[in-house]
Amino acid sequence: MSHADPSRAIASPGHSPSSAGSLQVACATVALFLLPFPALNFGVSFTLADVFLITAVLLNATQQLVRLQAFQVPFLLAVPLFVISTLLDPDGGLVELVQVLYIWGFVVPFGWVAFVSLGIRRIVLIVLASAVTNAVVAVGQGAGYLPELGNQRIIDFGGGFSRAAGLSLKCNSLVMTLTPCLMLIPCLLRVRVRLAVLLLLIPGLLAAVSKSVVFAVPGVLWYIWHEPRRRGVMAFLCVLGLAWMIHGEAVSGIGDLWYHFSDLATKRFERLENSLDERVELIRISLDHASDTLLLGFGPAGTESRISAMTNNTVHVYYLGVVLSGGIPAALLSFTGMGLIVSGLWRHGQRHVCLYVLSHLLALSVMTALLVSFQVLPFVVGGAILAQASAATVATTAADPIRLSVLTPGYAWTPSR
């Protein structure tokens, strides 16, 4: 299996803090690190990270907004449809309108502008550092060492281990946030760092005790397959797991923690059939309402009121939520923009980042459509990296047209040994 040098795939196209402004770079860095932490908020919908995100976008606007990206076009075309659907929603109000304008009118089409100055390597490192922090906090909360934060919800079943949300709002949100980050682990250069990140993210995922953790399995397999020293890593993981099983009960603290976690996981598994039945019923009801959204949707509040009226819950499929709240045309335009980001990243050789976005799209299939910025972060990150890769390709082609055939097909790569 052939591999290329990772420095080529995650090299910056030429932006630097000196050209973009140190303040802009600082705000972008803080925003990117904090965006997966919606528990740090001013009332759930508007988080601490949003302050830095808006500032970073505005500071970079004069340089980047004039360069319209292809993936932005369908996003921008969808904005009026989302807004009109919200305005016509009798169950909605000013709060829902502001949320729709912010997420669909600002973050999704323009949020990527904040991070273009960072460079691809730095973006990847910040995303993984943020994910590791979230995972560590989740494990601490699950074991009872750390408290819940603000409007967060930690679920205590009365045992010695709780379902933890980390710095996310809920357990499912934590799993959705961490799942795509596994696809970025091969971008790290040192094998010890890659293995450490993997061993920290997996407990964070397990701390949520969520059934959606199954969507993280492809990411683990992706890392192992692209690990140059995968035999050694596999052997280490097997020895670590065996040592845990043999000595876990001998160490009272770790043994008790493992026992309580296993008990909680068993209880969650016993409810699997009921959970599936409930979600299938939610999907059925949502599909029945979807036939009334051929032009406009019901708005966020209208969608929730219609679905919850019959089930006391809302649909747990992101894509159906977007369809019902904005209408089929708005949803198709939004999904087209997401698809353009995925295909563009693949075409420009950013395979790991492409699968990072694709893994997020998969994780969203069991998530409620929320009007909070952390849920669309991978699209923003993917858009920023795609913009950088496109600019690098254009610059290289202008300097040496012969190299165009080398740049466009893409390539696979893994870190150096």
Q: What is the 3-state secondary structure (H, E, C) of the chain?
A: CCCECHHHHCCCCCCCHHHHCHHHHHHHHHHHHHCCCCCCECCCCCEHHHHHHHHHHHHHHHHHCCCCCCCHHHHHHHHHHHHHHHHCCCCCCHHHHHHHHHHHHHHHHHHHHHHHHHCHHHHHHHHHHHHHHHHHHHHHHHCCCCCCCCCCCCECCCCCCCECCCCCCCHHHHHHHHHHHHHHHHHCCCHHHHHHHHHHHHHHHHHCCCHHHHHHHHHHHHHHHCCCCHHHHHHHHHHHHHHHHHHCCCCHHHHHHHHHHHHHHHHHHHCHHHHHHHHHHHHHHHHHHHCCCCCCCCHHHHHHHHHHHHHCCCCCCHHHHHHHHHCHHHHHHHHHHHHHHHHHHHHCCCHHHHHHHHHHHHHHHHCCCCCCHHHHHHHHHHHHHHHHHHHHHHHHHHHCHHHHHHHCCCCCECCCC
Question: What pLDDT shows up at residue 401?
Answer: 55
Asked whether residue 2 is domain-assigned, the answer is: no
Q: Which domain holds residue 208?
A: 10-407
Distances (CA, A) of 74 to 97, 144, 329, 375: 20, 45, 10, 19
Q: Note the pTM of the prediction, 2 decimals.
A: 0.82
Is residue 253 scored above 70 in pLDDT?
no
**Does residue 348 fall inside a structural domain?**
yes
1 in any annotated domain:
no
Residue 97 tokens, joined: 């309108």
pLDDT over 50 (residue 414):
no
Q: How many angstroms separate the CA atoms of 116 and 20, rounded? A: 9
| Residue 413 maps to a domain | no
Radius of gyration of the chain (CA): 22
**pLDDT-wise least confident of 20-29, 39-48, 135-144, 189-198:** 39-48
SS (H, E, C) 282-300: HHHHHHHHHCCCCCCCCHH
Please give the average per-residue pLDDT across 201-213, as a whole number. Answer: 83
**Structure confidence at residue 259 (pLDDT):** 52
Decide if 415 is inside a domain: no
**Amino acid identity of 54?**
I
181 token code pair: 């980050």
- What is the per-residue pLDDT across 95-107, written as a single tens digit (0 to 9) for each? 899 999 999 999 9
* 232 occurs within a structural domain: yes
- Confidence grade of residue 78 (pLDDT, cut at 50, 70, 90): very high
Q: Tell which wins on pLDDT, 13 or 295.
A: 295
The answer to whether position 414 is within a domain reads no
Mean pLDDT confidence for 123-137: 94
The reported pLDDT for the residue numbered 366 is 84
In a domain, 417, yes or no: no
pLDDT of residue 115: 94
CA dihedral 361, 365, 370, 374 (to 10 degrees): -40
State the chain's mean pLDDT as an integer: 80
Tokens of 5: 């040098």
Q: Is the pLDDT of residue 247 over 70?
A: no
Catalogue the long-range contacts made by 402-407 (C-beta closer than 8 Å, 24 or more residues apart).
407/348, 407/349
Count: domains in the chain = 1
- Whether 212 shows a pLDDT value over 70: the answer reads yes
pLDDT confidence tier of residue 33, bands split at 50, 70 and 90: very high
